[in-house]
Structure 1
Amino acid sequence: MSIHSPPTLEELARQALLRNEALAISALETLPWTLFPLLFVDAFNGEHTRIVKAMVAAWPLPYLPVGALMNTFNLEVLQDMLEGLDVLLTQNVHPRYELTGPLKVITDLYFRFQLDEKETNFLQWAQQRKDSLQLCCVNMKIESLSLDNVRKILTVFQPEHIQVLELSIDWSWCTLAQFSPYLAQMRNLHTLSLVQIHKNRFGLDDITYLEEKFVRRFLSQFSTLSRLQHLYLNGISLVGDQVKLLLRNLKTPLESFSVTHCLVFRSHLSHLSQCERLHQLKHLDMCGVLLSYMLCMNPLRVLLEKVANTLETLGFQGCGITDSQLSVLLPALSQCSKLTKINFYFNDFSVNALSDLFLHTANFTKMAVEQYPAPVECYDEFGYFSRERFIQLCPMLMDTLRTIRQPKDISFAALLCSSYNHCVYGLESRVCTCQR
C-alpha cells in the first residue's frame, strides 16, 4: 500500500478557493503575491477559465510564465489567457504591480503555413502594446511560413529571447541569407533545428557565385550563437568547404549534432572528426546519410573515438553500411560504453557481422534501446524479403547476444518496399508489420 503525504495548509487553501469561483476572484486583491504562481497553475490545469482571466488582470509580478503551462503550441489558448491583460495594461494605477517597465509574458508558440486572421490580429494586438507588454517566446516552431510572415512574428517576439528554434522551410539560399540577421540576434539560442521540407531545393546542382555568397552569409551567423548546444540539420546538403565553414563558426562544444537525409562526402567526415567542438557529443545522428559508396571509413572511426567518453545515443539508420565498413568502425564503437541507444536499422549487415557487432558491445551496460537491421540473409538474390528466414534468424541472433549480455529493448527491422513498410522482430511484439 502506497503512502501519500497529506496536503499542506497552502494546498488546502488553494483547493478551497478553486471550489468557490466568486470567493477566489474577490480574494485576489488581498491574496499574498507569493500564492499567485501556484494558484495560477492550479486554475489553469483545472480549466477554471474565469479565475485564470481574473488572475491575469490582477497579476502582481513582473512576469507571466505562460509557456511552462502549455503541453502543446496553441495560439488560441494563449490569446484567451491574455484577454485579462487588457484590463491590467489599461489601468491608470497598478496598486499590486509596483515595478516599472513592461510586463513580461513567457510562452512557446507553433506557427505553420500561412498566418490566419486570428494570428494576424493577435500580432497586431501585441504590436500595439509593446510599450507595456513584452512577449517572450522561448520555444518557437515555424513550419512552411514565408520570410515576410516570419519577420512579422519576430517584430513581436524578439529573437534574443528564443532559446529553441525549429525551422521547417522551403527557402532558397537567398532567402536564408535574408533571414540570417535574425539568427544573429538569437544570442540565447541553445537548440537549432533546420529542416528542408522539399527535396533538391538545397541540392548539389551547380551553385553560382552569387548563391555561394548567400550560403556563406548564412553559415557565418553561427559564429554569433555563443550558447548553441544542439544542432539538427535535416535534408540540407553542403558542398565544398561549406561544412568546414559551418564547423569553424561553432563557438561552443555541442551536445547534439544531427546531419540527416543529405549527401555527405569523405572530406566532410574528415572535417567532422577534426572539429573539437564535436568531441564532447552526447548525441550523434546521421540517419539517411548514404555511406555505402564511402571507400574509406577511417574519418568516421576517428570521430567515434573522439566521442567515446561522452556519446549516449547513435543513429545510423538507412545509411547502407556494409560488413566491411562496419568492421572498420567496430574498434571505436566498442569504446562507447556510455551508449544508451543505438539505431542501425536498414543497413546491409550479414549474420556474421551482427554477431561480431554484439561481441564488441559486451561492456554496453547502460544500453536501453538497440535497433538492428534484418541480416542480408533474409533477402534472396533479387532482393525479395523472406519472412520465414527473418523469423528463423532473429531468435538466433538474440540468443547470441544473450550469451554476451542481457538486452533490455532490442529489435530487428526489414524494409519491405519503397513505401517504407517494414517488418519488425522484437522482444515484446516478436513479429509485426509496421508502416511509416
Structure 2
Amino acid sequence: MRWLPAWPGAMHTLVFLSTRQVLQCQPAACQALPLLPRELFPLLFKVAFMDKKTVVLRELVHTWPFPLLSFQQLLQECAHCSRALLQERPSTESMQAVILGLTARLHTPETEAGTQPLCRKHALRVLDMTGLLDDGVEQDPGTMSMWDCTAAVARTCIAQQQGGTADPGPAPIPVEVRVDLRVNRASYSFLREALRSSVGSPLRLCCRDLRAEDLPMRNTVALLQLLDAGCLRRVDLRFNNLGLRGLSVIIPHVARFQHLASLRLHYVHGDSRQPSVDGEDNFRYFLAQMGRFTCLRELSMGSSLLSGRLDQLLSTLQSPLESLELAFCALLPEDLRFLARSPHAVHLKKLDLSGNDLSGSQLEPFQGLLQAAAATLLHLELTECQLADTQLLATLPVLTRCTSLRYLGLYGNPLSMAGLKELLRDSVVQAELRTVVHPFPVDCYEGLPWPPPASVLLEASINEEKFARVEAELHQLLLASGRAHVLWTTDIYGRLAADYFSL
C-alpha cells in the first residue's frame, strides 16, 4: 500500500485517507457505524480524535465494540498514520467528546444497548485515558492540560453519582476509567468528592499516577486512603516541604501500595549534620517503611538533605532502582562511593545529580559511579554541578563509555567553548545520543567572576553576538561529524527531562 503525506511530518496510507473522507460528513458517518467492521474502529477513533470530529467521536465511545478503549494504544503511531498524538497536547473538544460518549453509554438502558449490533457481545469495561502529554509548559487555549483532564473526569464522576439512581431498570455495566490525577489545594475537595463518588458507581475512577502539589499533610493522607492499591503506579508529592516528621506520617499510607513503581518526594528537610532525637526516630521509621516496597524502580528525593545518609536510604530497598534523582541533596563523596558500589548502579537508566558540587573531592567518586552505570545509563542530568573544563575533560573518558546515553544535561556549569567542542568531538562514539543541553559558554559573558556561582551563570546577561558565533561553530562541527540529528541546545524549558516510564 502506498504512503501518501497529508501534511509535513506525517505519513498516511490510503486506508487512513479513506477513513478521513468517510468522517467528513459526521451525521452520515454516525449512521454508518453499525455497518462498518469493528476492526476499523481503532483507526476511526484516531482520525476522529485528530480531526476533532466530536459528533463521531462521541458515538464511537458510545458504541465501542471492545472491552478496552486505550489512549496509549489508539493515539500512538500506527501502520496507517505516523503521527503520535500522545506526544501532543490533546484537544479540549476531543477530550470532552470522549467523556460525553462515556456518559451516554452509561445512560443507555441495557435493553437498548442489546439491540445495537456492536454492543451485543462486547461491553466497554475499561477506558484508559493515561499517558497524555503533561509537559508543564504554557498551553494552547484549545488544548487540555492534565489539571483540566482531572477536573473533567472528576465532574463526570460526581454527576454520574448524583444522577445515577433516578432511572429505574437494570444498572448500567460498570466502566473503569484509568487516569493520571493532578491535585493542589484548590482542587482537593473536588477530587476527593469524585473519588468517593466512584466507589460503588458504574463509573469507577482508577488513578495510575498521582501528583499532589503544595497539599497539606492531612489532605494528602485522605487522598491516598481513597486510591485503589491495585492501580497506582506513581506517587509524586511536590513543593510540600514535608520535613521528616510530615514524611513519617505520610509514608505508611504510601507503603500500602505494594505495586508502586515510582516514588517522588521533594523538600524532605531534616539536617543530618545537626540531628535531633525526634528527627532520628522519624528517619528510622521512614527507612523501615521504604523497606516495604517490593516493586519500586524509581526514587526521586529532590532538594532533600541526604548528606552522608544515602547508604541508609538505599540499603533498605528490596530491589535495584533504575531511576534515581538526587538533585540538590548536598551529597558527600561517601554517598557517591556507596552508590557506585551498590546493586543500584549497574541497573540505572536515569540519574540526576543536579545541584550537587562535583568539582572537588566528589569528582573521583562520581567518575566511579559513571563507570559502574556505563552499560545501562540512558539519561544523565548534571545541571549546576560546578563542572568546569578541567573536570569535564577529566570525566570524558568514562562519560564516553556510556554508549547507550541518549540525553546529557550540563546547563548551568562554567564550561568554555573549548570544553564544549571537546565534548562534541569525543561524544561522536555515543551513537545513541540525541540531546545535549549545554550552558552558555563562559566566553560569552562579560566580566564574569571566577569561579562563577551558578546564580551568576543563570542570571547574568550574555553577549548575543558571541553566542551566535558559538552556535554556528557547534552546528558546523555537528555537520562535519555526521551528527546533525543530535540536538545541542541551551533551552532547559522547551524539552523537559524524559520520564522514567518513557525510557
TM-score (norm 1): 0.76
Cα pair distance change 1:84/1:54, threshold 3 Å: farther
For residues 224 and 153 of structure 1, the distance between their equivalents in structure 2, rounded to whole angstroms, comes to: 20
For residues 21 and 226 of structure 1, the distance between their equivalents in structure 2, rounded to whole angstroms, comes to: 40
For residues 260 and 447 of structure 2, the distance between their equivalents in structure 1, rounded to whole angstroms, comes to: 50
Aligned to 1:289: 356
1:245-297 alpha-carbon deviations (Å, 9 max, x no partner):
111122223222111123111111111111112212122111222223x2252
The aligned amino acid for 1:353 is G
Checking the alignment, whether the CA contact within 8 Å between 1:367 and 1:407 is kept in structure 2 is no
The aligned amino acid for 2:332 is F
Match of 2:290 among 202, 222, 238: 222
For residues 489 and 185 of structure 2, the distance between their equivalents in structure 1, rounded to whole angstroms, comes to: 37
User: Which structure shows the bigger proportion of residues in strand conformation?
Assistant: 1
Aligned to 1:375: 441
Q: How does 1:95-174 map to 2 (within 5 A)?
A: 97=173, 104-113=176-185, 117-126=189-198, 129=199, 135-168=205-238, 169-174=240-245
Match of 1:84 among 142, 153, 160: 160
Q: CA deviation at 1:403?
A: 4.6
Q: CA deviation at 1:398?
A: 4.7
SS of the counterpart of 2:182? strand
Checking the alignment, whether the CA contact within 8 Å between 1:337 and 1:364 is kept in structure 2 is yes
SS of the counterpart of 2:264? strand
Aligned to 1:195: 266
Match of 1:56 among 106, 124, 127: 106
- Work out the percentage of aligned pairs sharing the same amino acid: 20
Aligned to 1:247: 314
SS of the counterpart of 2:356? coil
For residues 183 and 116 of structure 1, the distance between their equivalents in structure 2, rounded to whole angstroms, comes to: 18
Cα pair distance change 1:302/1:51, threshold 3 Å: closer
The aligned amino acid for 2:349 is K
Query: Aligned pairs, how many?
Result: 400
Q: CA deviation at 1:213?
A: 1.7
Please state if 1:308 is matched with 2:374: yes
The aligned amino acid for 2:152 is V
Aligned to 1:9: 37
Aligned to 1:212: 280
Checking the alignment, whether the CA contact within 8 Å between 1:284 and 1:315 is kept in structure 2 is yes
Aligned to 1:434: none
Checking the alignment, whether the CA contact within 8 Å between 2:301 and 2:325 is kept in structure 1 is yes
SS of the counterpart of 1:141? strand
Cα pair distance change 1:325/1:119, threshold 3 Å: same
Please state if 1:334 is matched with 2:400: yes
Cα pair distance change 1:68/1:180, threshold 3 Å: closer
Cα pair distance change 1:237/1:322, threshold 3 Å: same
Q: CA deviation at 1:371?
A: 2.4
Match of 1:262 among 318, 329, 336: 329
For residues 132 and 212 of structure 2, the distance between their equivalents in structure 1, rounded to whole angstroms, comes to: 17
TM-score (norm 2): 0.67
For residues 69 and 94 of structure 1, the distance between their equivalents in structure 2, rounded to whole angstroms, comes to: 33
Match of 1:178 among 242, 246, 249: 249
1:207-250 alpha-carbon deviations (Å, 9 max, x no partner):
2122022122113322222211222221112133x210111122
For residues 386 and 14 of structure 2, the distance between their equivalents in structure 1, rounded to whole angstroms, comes to: 53
Instruction: Give the gaps of 5 or more residues in structure 1.
Output: 415-419, 422-436
Aligned to 1:68: 130
SS of the counterpart of 1:373? coil
Checking the alignment, whether the CA contact within 8 Å between 2:208 and 2:231 is kept in structure 1 is yes
Aligned to 2:497: none
